[in-house]
Amino acid sequence: MDMMSYGSILKILQLNAKRHAHKAAVTFKRRGEWVTLSYAQFYDRILMASRGLRKAGIKPGDRVAIFSENRTGWAIADFGVQAARAITVPIYATNTAEQAEYVINHSESRIVFVSTRLQYEKILQIRQNIPHVERVVSFEQFLGSDDLPVNTLQQLSEVSHPLTDEERVELEEEIAQITPEDLITVIYTSGTTGVPKGVMLTHSNMLFDACAGVQKLGGMAEDEVFLSFLPLSHVLERTAGYHAPLMYGAHVAFAENVDKVVENIQEIRPTVMVSVPRLFEKIYSRIYENVHQAPAVRRSLFHWAVDVGKQYVYRRYIENQPVGSLGVKYGLAKRLVFSKIKPRFGGRMRFFISGGAPLDKTINEFMWAVGIPVFEGYGLTETSPALTLNTIADNRFGSVGQVLDQTEVKTAEDGELLVRGPQVMQGYYKNPEATAQTIIDGWLYTGDIARIDENGFVYIVDRKKEIIVTAGGKNVAPQPIENELKLDKYISQAFVYGDRKPYLVALLTPNVERLLEFAQDKKLNYIEIRDLVTHKKVHKLFEERVRDVNAKLPSYETIKKFVILPRDFSIEDGELTPTLKLKRKVIAEKYRVSIEGMFDANGNGNGNAQK
């Protein structure tokens, strides 16, 4: 069927409630047990939420915030807001009270949904500063303050009172009035720099992007099972891991939390997942650590299998050539090696979709070799998000794929990627100046430096504002170097710095588990991790690891000095965005003394690693 003709995702969901009435729509864990709502049940809960919102005075065009981690309540509230023809304003669950205050006030949200008492208490802290908020609705039950009463979603929805025929007709008449041009959401960019901007997306923007993405992948089977763990507050998960599967009659299970993803994969046994590169980095690192500790014969077998797998993938999927006898070798590699890796992904995983940050080429090649391809794509909050995507039929490692249907890309003189298409935002909420600076003559300026090859594959070089220009005038993209460093089993995270400086330096965080093994093996004396990262033998170890990376780089891209930090960068400390991108300005300022020390005449950096 022509999805676009329905004008909104909610109208398609209304149809699915009839077509797939008894089919599983969403699954979530409650009190240790997985619970499933069918499409009919899910849709009824959405209508009840809409009924409650309308009784609470929500009118078309009003803004309603959702301050919650992923869960079924998020989805019911979101579609309930849409059914009331209002506008959803998501807030990352990791946001502080002050960050939430800005979003709530700027959007003038009238109601705030919260997941737990923790989020409610953040709202309570800023109660006097958010005059537009009339009520708080929670997905869990707890006692609120007299200053800020709280109702549950069940109470708002009056779930003990089934919908009457009259109510259903009235509510569905409201849904019928949704137009493709109506705003579906205002998403505030997490932002690696500056004040967040509210991205205005319409029903048409998000509907088109979900349809075009699925079409690019060759369609979606109704028996697909998605495991959702990226924040629904982020547009990638919302479009690719939530809107798209529910539009096509698939099944969405919500992971308990990020820490339980590996466990939930075994329980749900998904067929598709949307992720950011960090998950694949951890998987790759853990597999290679286990191989490193295996007997020599098994190590040799593993490396042989990976080599054969990569040859097979390139021959079949990149060069589109007959595989010949290589197919026999690959069959043996699958049986002896890859068949033991795939169960770690639940046993049914067909593919991953990756976005949000660049995925290292080596890791992607490995995943394809194993038989679980990762389709890397590219987009922005401002583009709903997908603009390009690799597929099983058209893939180039290191690229972010080719453009979706009706989408155009080109590069400006300085290499910045410009785009236009039906998924491009309407502008920034209450910020016409920023809109005018971003959309010029119909083209959206992405802020990313890119190249486009003769086959239309797009390669993202780096963020325009993050390109390092050394004192010698060399332009250096830090992310590829950081990704190379992170492949090392002892390095967890890396931050490369050197703008207007004579050479590049790095802040490195250790893989604590591997570092402790090293300390035990070398019988190092220490009390805490802070002692270890300043130990001479640890410095020597890291010098060797960085030197290995430097050997692959031109001289001006090599890391001359580094500092080892005792812990990872984190969202909680403001160093990462909710989608795990480095907040470069924050990190540079926070560790300014350590960074500048590496450029002192005396060379106070705690490690040197020449090429």
- pLDDT tens figures, 493-521: 999 999 889 999 999 999 998 999 999 99
Task: Mean pLDDT check: name the lowest of 65-74, 145-154, 451-460, 570-579.
Answer: 570-579
- By 3-state DSSP, what share of the chain in percent is helix, strand and coil, each rounded to 5? 40, 20, 35
CA distances from 269 to 214, 243, 455 (A): 21, 20, 36
Residue whose token pair is 């290589």: 326
**Angle, to 10 degrees, between the axis of helix 9-19 and the axis of helix 203-216?**
60
Dihedral sign, CA of 284, 289, 292, 294?
negative
Which pLDDT score, from 0 to 100, does residue 529 have? 93
Rg of the chain's alpha carbons, rounded to an integer? 25
Q: Residue 480 — very low, low, confident or very high, per pLDDT cuts 50/70/90?
A: confident
Which pLDDT score, from 0 to 100, does residue 607 have? 60
CA triple 226-228-229, angle to 5 deg: 150
Q: How far is the C-alpha of 299 from the C-alpha of 284, rounded, in Å?
A: 15
Q: What percent of the chain has pLDDT over 70?
A: 97
pLDDT tens-digit series, residues 289-316: 889 889 999 999 999 999 999 999 999 9
Which pLDDT score, from 0 to 100, does residue 606 have? 56
pLDDT tens-digit series, residues 82-91: 999 999 999 9
Which pLDDT score, from 0 to 100, does residue 13 have? 98
In CATH terms, the superfamily for domain 275-347+350-464 is ANL, N-terminal domain (3.40.50.12780)
pLDDT tens-digit series, residues 132-142: 999 999 999 99
Per the structure block, which two tokens stand in for 91? 């807030």
Q: Domain spanning 3-188+220-271 has what CATH number?
A: 3.40.50.12780
Amino acid at 228: S
- Contacts from 434-442 at CB under 8 Å and sequence distance 24+? 434/197, 438/382
Do residues 495 and 582 lie in contact, with contact meaning Cβ atoms separated by under 8 Å? yes
Which pLDDT score, from 0 to 100, does residue 611 have? 46
Per the structure block, which two tokens stand in for 451? 């190249």
pLDDT tens-digit series, residues 352-410: 999 987 888 999 999 999 999 999 999 999 999 999 999 999 999 999 999 999 999 99
Q: What residue spans of 524-603 are helical by DSSP H?
A: 529-532, 536-550, 584-590, 592-597
Taking Cα atoms as reference points, which of 245, 317, 188, 287 lies closest to residue 13? 245
Which residues, including other chains, have CB under 8 Å from residue 493's CB and lie 6 or more apart?
A: 486, 508, 509, 568, 569
- In the chain, ranges of CATH 3.40.50.12780 domains: 3-188+220-271, 275-347+350-464
Which pLDDT score, from 0 to 100, does residue 603 have? 45
Tally of CB atoms within 10 A around 516 = 15
Q: How far is the C-alpha of 485 from the C-alpha of 33, rounded, in Å?
A: 41
pLDDT tens-digit series, residues 255-277: 999 889 999 999 999 999 999 88
Q: How far is the C-alpha of 179 from the C-alpha of 175, rounded, in Å?
A: 9
Tally of CB atoms within 10 A around 208 = 25
Say yes or no to pLDDT of 453 above 50: yes
**Helix, coil or strand: residue 189:** coil
Amino acid at 115: S
Q: How far is the C-alpha of 525 from the C-alpha of 548, rounded, in Å?
A: 27
Taking Cα atoms as reference points, which of 539, 503, 493 lies closest to residue 518? 539
Say yes or no to pLDDT of 197 above 80: yes
Say yes or no to pLDDT of 190 above 60: yes
CA distances from 315 to 319, 321, 389, 462, 506 (A): 5, 5, 20, 29, 37
Which pLDDT score, from 0 to 100, does residue 601 have? 56
Kind plus residue range of the DSSP H or E element containing 436 = helix 432-438
Q: How far apart are the first and last CA of the chain?
A: 58
- In the chain, ranges of CATH 3.30.300.30 domains: 467-597
Mean pLDDT (whole number) for 413-421: 96
Tally of CB atoms within 10 A around 192 = 17
Q: How far is the C-alpha of 22 from the C-alpha of 26, rounded, in Å?
A: 12
Average pLDDT, the chain: 93
**Helix, coil or strand: residue 34:** strand
CA distances from 143 to 124, 127, 155, 319 (A): 12, 16, 14, 62
Taking Cα atoms as reference points, which of 250, 260, 242, 294 lies closest to residue 74? 242
CA triple 264-269-275, angle to 5 deg: 65
Task: Mean pLDDT check: name the lowest of 134-138, 206-210, 230-234, 398-402.
Answer: 230-234
pLDDT tens-digit series, residues 332-347: 999 999 999 999 999 9
Q: Residue 426 — very low, low, confident or very high, per pLDDT cuts 50/70/90?
A: very high
pLDDT tens-digit series, residues 517-560: 999 999 998 899 999 999 999 999 999 999 999 998 888 899 99
Dihedral sign, CA of 533, 538, 540, 542?
negative
Report the predicted TM-score, pTM, of the whole model to 2 decimal places.
0.85
Which pLDDT score, from 0 to 100, does residue 604 have? 46
Question: What is the CATH T-level fold of the domain 467-597, as seen in this structure?
Answer: GMP Synthetase; Chain A, domain 3 (3.30.300)
